[in-house]
Structure 1
Amino acid sequence: MARTDRLMRLMDVMRRLPAPVTAGRLAEETGVSLRQLYRDIATLRAGGALIDGEAGLGYTLTEDPALPPQSFSRLEIEGLRLAVDALSGVGDSELVDAAENALSRIIATLPERQAQQALHAISHSFSPGPDRKPPQVDIATIRRACWEEMVLEIDYTDLKDDCTTRQIWPLGMSYSQRTLMLLAYCRMRMDYRVFHVNRMAALRLTGDSFRPRRAALVRDYASARSRQHAAEKSPSPDRTDTGCDSWPPVAPDR
Structure 2
Amino acid sequence: MARGRKSTGSQRSERLFSLIQILRDSKLHTARGLAAQVNVSERTIWRDMATLKASGVPVEGERGVGYTITAPITLPPLNLTMGELEALHLAVAILGEASDPELADSAQSLAAKIDAILPENTGPTSAAWAHALHPFAFADMQAGFKHIPLLRQAVREKKILRITYAALSGEASGETSPRLVRPLQLEYWGRVWTMGVWCEECSAFQTLRVDRIEHVIDTSAQFKDEPGKTLEDFIAFQNTSHVPM
Interval of TM-score (by shorter of Structure 1 and Structure 2) = 0.3 to 0.5
The structure whose Rg is larger is 1
- Taking structure 2 as the reference length, the TM-score comes to 0.43
- Taking structure 1 as the reference length, the TM-score comes to 0.42
More relative contact order, 1 or 2 (CA 8 Å, 6+ apart) = 2
